[in-house]
Amino acid sequence: MLKACPWCGRIHDSREDCGRRPPKKYRREESERGRNTRAWKRKAEQIKTDSHYLCENCLSQGVLTWDGLEAHHIIKLRERPDLLLDDDNLVCLCEKCHKKADAGAISADFLRQLAKKRNNIPPDTQNF
């Protein structure tokens, strides 16, 4: 399809690269910069391991959920990016509970209690 190119002013095929199109720049917010690091991936895996690969919210209600687990930041990274790797700010949730927590349906105080409970498990009982 022929179109007027906004970068060179000529008319050419819209799929043709005229050489003047600037490269795309993807900018991440400061708070999101740590999410694709190895340290974050290791920390998220550690949180899942420490919670025995179970959703901590569902477990508190007596339900065992192990599908679609994610590490959730209790205090959002846009508010406190320095808490990216803080154990006390992370909790293991299934996708459904993660959405509820993001929407505010699960209180931050309750999630902090879950994280504190997970962190207070004696080390010799974690590897059953």
Predicted pLDDT of residue 16: 81
Predicted pLDDT of residue 62: 94
Cut 0.85: pTM above it: no
Predicted pLDDT of residue 126: 47
Predicted pLDDT of residue 102: 93
Predicted pLDDT of residue 106: 95
Predicted pLDDT of residue 67: 94
The tens place of each residue's pLDDT in the chain, 128 residues long, gives: 888 888 888 888 878 888 888 887 766 665 566 777 899 999 999 999 999 999 999 999 999 999 999 999 999 988 888 889 999 999 999 999 999 999 999 999 999 999 999 877 555 544 44
93: number of Cβ within 10 Å: 27
111 to each of 33, 64, 67, 99, how far by Cα in Å?
A: 24, 17, 19, 13
